[in-house]
Amino acid sequence: MKKVCSVLFGLCVIWILLVASIRLWALNSNFYIRQYDQMNLAQQLNVSNQDLNRSIETLLDYLDNRTDSISVTITQNDVKKEAFNQREINHMIDVKALYQRVNRAMWISVVLVGIIFIYMGREKQGRLTLTRSIVEASFAFVIFVAFIGVWIAIDFTDFWIRFHHVFFDNDLWLLTPGVDFMIDILPETIFNRLVISITSSVVVALVLLNAICIYILRKNRYCEG
């Protein structure tokens, strides 16, 4: 039972770090606005910076349950219009449902980590077992990230397409540049940088966390038989 709990503890810690990193970057409007400025995207799309920034902020607010709709009016090519069409609205319903499931799983993981720590952390040996489980789970996760990293470096488009096939059971995510404003303000380049930023944050957090764990294990000369 304790072995199962320790494995679950390590996996939950990794999941919490991953989702926290996703929240840090994917829901951070400043990240997108910086990308827009670097790409000079507003000028390319013939919209104002204000309309462009308001569009992405609306999408992020919708994902995080701060608004009930992605309805936003913009002026493009001197024509006033709704930024997002019905296909984009339907796709965002799917995206929000996925994100909310991921977020709920994170909070469940937080609860499990607390329960397991209370259960096993009362004794020094139990705390050391949990510490070791973090190192072991991190090692497995790094191998997984390395695989994803190589895949992204070789062909990000293939990675991104397969990602959508795994998590969505329809083709609403297939948007057309120049027709669907959502893909215009979220081109592949931005998603590429987003994935790299999320991955980098998780790796840095894991390096720091594992440095602490390894220090504790070495200090206690702990070795699981």
How confident is the model at residue 23, as a pLDDT? Answer: 94
Residue 129, pLDDT above cutoff 50: yes
**Residue 148 — pLDDT band, cuts 50, 70, 90?**
confident
Helix (H, G, I), strand (E, B) or coil at 73: strand
Give CA–CA dist 11/21, Å, rounded: 15
Give CA–CA dist 140/132, Å, rounded: 13
How confident is the model at residue 224, as a pLDDT? Answer: 47
Q: What is the pLDDT of residues 93-128, one digit of tens each?
A: 999 999 999 999 999 999 999 999 999 988 888 899
Q: What is the pLDDT of residues 26-79, one digit of tens each?
A: 999 999 999 999 999 999 999 999 999 999 999 999 999 999 999 999 999 999
Contacts 24+ apart (CB under 8 A), 197-204: 197/25, 197/31, 198/18, 198/21, 198/22, 198/24, 198/25, 198/26, 199/145, 199/148, 199/149, 201/21, 201/24, 201/25, 202/17, 202/18, 202/21, 202/145, 203/142, 203/145
47 contacts 74 by C-beta, under 8 angstroms:
yes
**Residue 149 — pLDDT band, cuts 50, 70, 90?**
confident
